[in-house]
Amino acid sequence: MGIPYSAEKDDVYYPAKRAVFFPNGRPRSDAALSVEMARLAYCRIDTNFAFDQARIRKVLAGIQFTDCKFFESVNAPDCGGSHAFLALDGNRKVAVLSFRGTDKDDPSDLGDDLDIRPHPWQGGGSVHSGFDKALQEIWQRVKAALHEFSEYQFLFTGHSLGAAMATLASTLQAPKSLYTIGCPRVGDQVFVDQLRGLDNHRYVDCCDLVPRVPPEACGYAHIPGKIQYIDFNRAVHELDPDDPYIAADQTKAEEDYLENYAWRIGDVALRPLADHAPVNYVLPVTAATP
């Protein structure tokens, strides 16, 4: 289909390092807008974990967003923690809440990812303790901002850990739509059942490892319904998660990766890691925009 694919380590571990955001201007679809906003959340200062607010504001101004609110853990600049921004389009009354995913260099993010103990959720059921902790670090300030701009239509988004936080947030205040990319399982069946009826768009890139964890054997489940599956050829399909097409496509993709990428210097060794790179979501989803 002519859509680029990246296996490079920098695109997996430092998603904003080489990114050119919104090169063709504001996308026509909420999906393409949200997926790129999820990648934009990785913009940080080179010397610490704080948002690069100047860069983010410049990108947003270029696509007609009029303001942005930033939310970070109190220890974010020095020791990492949770990060989210609320991009505001005051003319169209649209706002995008984007949560940052795991920063490879942030030990607090890694600790949150690994703390898979089930924890009771305020709305019912149980959720991943680390994801809950990450959201609670900033939620009260996010909640206040959502209330302040209550006349806006909200889109929630995030990649990886950010997608998990966006999912949790959607049970506390329902957005117009939820767009997650490379989202892990967040809670048990009782928890995810709270999200039935939500306009949910869960994107899964081919062999991406993260949507497979934590395991179902530990009691975790995904939000019911179809997924937006990005195949080996970079086309986006709406499929049931157990569609036989997916297994066959993943096998083909793994074989191609071993032949063409796994041995190259600068590439990650495994396709399930490469497929988690935000750029490998952004490009197909943007190309699929009508």
Report the catalytic residues.
160, 208
**Is 255 strand, coil or helix?**
helix
The answer to whether residues 133 and 111 touch, using CB atoms and an 8 Å cutoff, is no
Positions of E strands within the chain: 67-72, 83-89, 94-99, 118-120, 126-128, 153-159, 177-181, 200-205, 227-230, 236-239
Largest CA distance in the chain: 53
Name the one residue in this structure whose structure tokens are 């988004």: 157
| Burial of 247: CB neighbours in 10 Å, binned 0-12, 13-18, 19+ | exposed
Q: Rounded to an integer, what distance in angstroms lies between the CA atom of residue 126 and that of residue 192?
A: 9
Q: Rounded to an integer, what distance in angstroms lies between the CA atom of residue 35 and that of residue 24?
A: 14
Q: Rounded to an integer, what distance in angstroms lies between the CA atom of residue 165 and that of residue 32?
A: 19
